[in-house]
Amino acid sequence: MRRAAFFTAFYVGALVLAWVSPSLAGDNKKDSNDAIAERMVDACFDRAASAGFPPFSIAVIDPTGALVVFKRQEGASPATAEVAMLKARTSLKANAPTAILTQVAGADEPTRDALLLLGLTTLPGGAPFADGKSGFSGAIGASGGDAAQDVQCLDEALRVLGK
């Protein structure tokens, strides 16, 4: 008797979960986080191409630091891949654009040393973000050009979110 009640409860629970799971999984959102991240990367690549920048690597991570999207353009230095990830993770951990950390570290040697000891970077080209419409948040890192080009690419990517 107990076994039958258990299986009945299990079956009903599975049916309820199957009915509710699409809304829990976010299928009712206009855009998935992956789609938003892809558009951010594409916006950066478009900016780089139109401005004649060198090839880029772009990393988008979620609030836990897990990779959502990573793309490296053909011809981009392999080092740009690591640097893009480092910029994204640094800006996520510091909750600040890496360009701000550049200024802070330049003015305060102990802060610079602490950032380096923590394995963070002060290279411009990383920024945290939060999209109020979709709820998607995380950080993005761009690497491939000089500091100003990386920031321009990053700014273009953030415009996808209306920033």
Domain-by-domain residue ranges, the chain?
1-29, 31-159
How far is the C-alpha of 124 from the C-alpha of 100, rounded, in Å? Answer: 8
The 10s digit of each residue's pLDDT in 3-62 is 554 444 444 444 333 444 444 444 444 578 999 999 999 999 999 999 999 999 999 999
Fold (CATH) for 31-159: Beta-Lactamase (3.30.450)
With tokens 């230095």, the residue in question is: 77
Q: What is the pTM of this model?
A: 0.79
The 10s digit of each residue's pLDDT in 86-103 is 999 999 999 999 999 999
In the sheet with 67-72, reading across from the earlier edge strand, the strands are: 67-72, 57-61, 137-143, 126-130
For 44, 61, 91, 139, the CA distances from 130, given in Å and listed in that order, are 17, 12, 13, 8
Helix (H) or strand (E) holding 159: helix 147-159
- 31 contacts: CB under 8 Å, gap ≥ 6: 39, 134
